[in-house]
Structure 1
């Protein structure tokens, strides 16, 4: 019976590592998402901080990253010691659900605002080239996608934590 439990813990470890990786990529993409747009001789600088939904995405990614790193350390320690603190069951159960919802709403906000802003921006502003705008919004889509992948990992972890809360390993 020990091998299936060890392999389940390894799967949980991989999911935690993937979650951390997706959230780190999200933070990097969003924090570097700025562009200078030149239109009819005027230049405008846009940064992710100028859009509230991108700020929410960034905050969700940072909070999720903080949680995921803590959980990664707990998972590594559980794998090394083959024991689990009963407190961790509750942390896994509630934490995975809350953080997954936060990350999911961050991703949804990112997709929605990127679509709306790109259409509106291109309709309202006369541009010499749409390349800078495409770059800004492509990074918005990329960061929202990474946040969505992190949500999928957290959702699977949430299912496992729900099961383990009922039947401790």
Structure 2
């Protein structure tokens, strides 16, 4: 599969990113009954509120796209992409922001150092280059605001921005979500 069939969907919190990715999956499934779709979820229930968010997402997703299978890969995202890729299966990754958080600021865990992160990021990019499935990736665009004061937060913001640039370079389509509305950034319809 050509990486031009991949799409990156960016947006702020509650901008409609996940819903749009689910609509892409629904359209993929509707177009051919031989197709399948799998969501690769990266969230960890670090606290009660996050566990409730995950539960609510699962319920909402099942109502909108019942045939969308789900696997969880909070850290080993490149391996999950490789494992679940098939030419007739769309992969939806939701989301890169949480995956980066698990890698760089894991709750109760040990963060990757710079070399470890670069290796993990390159593994993701290579998995996307080689993927036989079309992939829709969701991530939060958090770089539009004020520069944060904390060193760790600035480093995270930088890492996410660079990740977005590298992933976008491998995607044929990039969409920015604003208030539930799609804005084509690259490769629009």
Whether TM exceeds 0.5 here: the answer is no
TM-score of the superposed pair, with normalisation by structure 2: 0.27
- Give the structure with the larger helix fraction: 1
- Give the structure with the larger strand fraction: 2
Bigger radius of gyration, 1 or 2? 1
